[in-house]
Amino acid sequence: MFKVLCLISSIFLISCSSKDPKEMTSKEKTPVQPKETISMESKLLANEQESNLVTEIKFDRQKANISGKAREQLKDLHRKASKKGKIEEIKVISWGDQEYPSVHEKKLSEVQVKLVEERNATLENYLKTIEMDAEIETISMAERPSTLAKWFSSDDARIKKSLETAGIPNTDTTVKVPGKASKSIVIFIMEEE
């Protein structure tokens, strides 16, 4: 009798612990979307800029418009930054639909250079609508820094060197992971107190 009672209680407990799919709430039926992941290269670059407020924006190929999702990412980053204090500067680093040019190439095609300029302008214009006081610096990853920029250690040259050191692929690299083509990195830099 004792064995039968144990068997019945076990069956009862097992049936109670698992839900029938029909009983699942709408929240449980919806798969959880993974949060946007920020690449290690972007995090390292933001850290060098003394910031942890960074996001990556993904563009459709051959397009310069930003999606609703990207707008929300930027608004969310702005909210986080605003809670911390005054935003001094925003850096926008954009790629075309190809990786950074190799040392042998120096510059991508005019089509790619123009695409990067359009992406930077689109992001800059949008960022001005949510943050009017910060200076916005745009950097094109369709061109390598000039010798003069390297000599004077311009911000543009330092950022490109940091990303190269972090391991971003270039047009000669056979392994294109983690690729940055069709992306932009946006970093909010806070005013020092």
Q: What is the pLDDT of residues 114-158, one digit of tens each?
A: 999 999 999 999 999 998 899 999 999 999 987 776 677 789 999
Which pLDDT score, from 0 to 100, does residue 146 have? 79
pLDDT at 3: 53
Q: Is the dihedral of CA 75, 76, 81, 84 positive or negative?
A: positive
31 pLDDT band (50/70/90 cuts)?
A: very low
Fold of 40-190: 60s Ribosomal Protein L30; Chain: A; (3.30.1330)
The answer to whether 187 touches 91, Cβ cutoff 8 Å, is: yes
CA distance 43 to 41: 5
Question: In this structure, are residues 190 and 86 in contact, taking their beta carbons and an 8 Å threshold?
Answer: yes
> Tokens 């960074």 appear where?
54
Average pLDDT over residues 151-179: 85
What's the pTM value of the predicted model, to 2 decimals? 0.79
